[in-house]
């Protein structure tokens, strides 16, 4: 973790000004006068695969905007098994429940090497009251999180195993220029889709045999979007 002051963030000493995601992250609509109101540092996190950004039940005083990488938001069932309720990826904001004074609701576990900015809740609350742009952006992020949660319920928890896997693969390349994606462990895929690890593994193997997935490098695949779409819709 590295602490970055608001002055460093604004003047680009933390590389914020040259960040390619600057126009998509939570503070994109702020101007210099808004930054002058920030009196707490922004925390920069570089997180390796398998590490945890925050845990369910922890008191939250930061929300996080994801610069790069992928995290899974995990809830645990009474029998101890995990269920992945959604993924958090580049430009997403997570930990929004802290804006309501709530503890974190999930474990946020890193699936792929991740960089994240930790934004003090008190700062975001104060700025949202004085900046209509930020207030509107926060509402937009709430809506996006709600839509994503709905999609996981409707798309990834219903239908056959083949349909669920196909829908997940298509979501991983949505809004990307290329149809290439990096897959997660079969255990994680099973937890995302509500199927067993064996079923997830068997389905991926079948898709590979049918050339619906073509491996370009270890665990990186090109997708046959057209035919996966047919499976997803059947």
Pair (112, 200) in one structural domain? no
For the four alpha carbons of 44, 15, 121 and 50, in that order, the dihedral sign comes to negative
Predicted TM-score (pTM) of the model is 0.76
Do the domain assignments include residue 153? no
pLDDT of residue 200: 95
**Is 54 within 8 Å of 95 (Cβ atoms)?**
yes
State the chain's mean pLDDT as an integer: 81
Q: How many domains does the chain have?
A: 2
The dihedral formed by the CA atoms of 113, 117, 121 and 126, expressed in degrees to the nearest 10: -160
pLDDT of residue 19: 56
What radius of gyration do the chain's Cα atoms show? 19
Pair (139, 209) in one structural domain? no
Pair (126, 175) in one structural domain? no
Give the domain-ending residue among 119, 144, 169.
144
pLDDT of residue 83: 85
- pLDDT for 7-45, tens place per residue? 444 333 445 545 544 555 666 666 666 666 665 667 778
Alpha helices for the chain (secondary structure H): 6-11, 32-35, 121-130, 132-154, 161-172, 186-193, 197-209, 225-233
d(CA 31, CA 168): 38
The lowest-confidence range among 13-17, 82-86, 130-134, 182-186 is 13-17
Pair (41, 91) in one structural domain? yes
Say which DSSP state 12 is in: T
- pLDDT for 107-146, tens place per residue? 999 999 998 888 888 888 887 777 777 777 777 777 777 7
DSSP conformation letters of 96-161? GGGGGTPPP-SEEEEEEEEEEEEEEHHHHHHHHHH-HHHHHHHHHHHHHHHHHHHHHHHTSSSS-H
The average pLDDT across 91-104 equals: 89
d(CA 90, CA 41): 21
Please give the residue range of the domain that contains residue 184: 161-233
The average pLDDT across 202-219 equals: 93
Give the domain-ending residue among 112, 144, 176.
144
pLDDT of residue 21: 47
Do the domain assignments include residue 178? yes
Q: CATH code at 218?
A: 1.10.10.10
Do the domain assignments include residue 155? no
Pair (26, 136) in one structural domain? yes
Do the domain assignments include residue 42? yes
Pair (61, 177) in one structural domain? no
Say which DSSP state 59 is in: P
């Amino acid at each position: 973790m590295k602490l970055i002051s608001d002055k460093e963030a604004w003047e680009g000493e933390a590389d914020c000004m040259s960040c390619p995601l600057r126009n998509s992250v939570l503070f994109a609509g702020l101007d210099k006068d808004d930054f002058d109101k920030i009196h707490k540092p922004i925390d920069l996190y570089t997180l390796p695969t398998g590490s945890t950004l925050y845990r369910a039940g922890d008191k939250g005083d930061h929300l996080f905007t994801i610069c790069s990488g992928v995290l899974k938001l995990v809830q645990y069932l009474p029998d101890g098994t995990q269920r992945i309720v959604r993924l958090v990826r580049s430009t997403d904001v997570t930990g929004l429940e802290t804006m309501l004074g709530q503890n974190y609701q999930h474990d946020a576990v890193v699936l792929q090497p991740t960089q994240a900015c930790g934004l003090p809740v008190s700062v975001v609350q104060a700025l949202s009251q004085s900046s209509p742009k930020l207030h509107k952006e926060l509402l937009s992020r709430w809506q996006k999180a709600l839509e994503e949660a709905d999609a996981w319920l409707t798309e990834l928890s219903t239908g056959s195993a083949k349909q669920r896997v196909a829908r997940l693969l298509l979501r991983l390349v949505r809004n990307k220029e290329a149809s290439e994606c990096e897959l997660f462990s079969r255990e994680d895929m099973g937890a995302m889709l509500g199927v067993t690890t064996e079923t997830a593994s068997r389905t991926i193997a079948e898709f590979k045999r049918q050339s619906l997935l073509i491996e370009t490098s270890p665990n990186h695949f090109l997708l046959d979007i057209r035919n996966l779409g047919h499976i997803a819709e059947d």
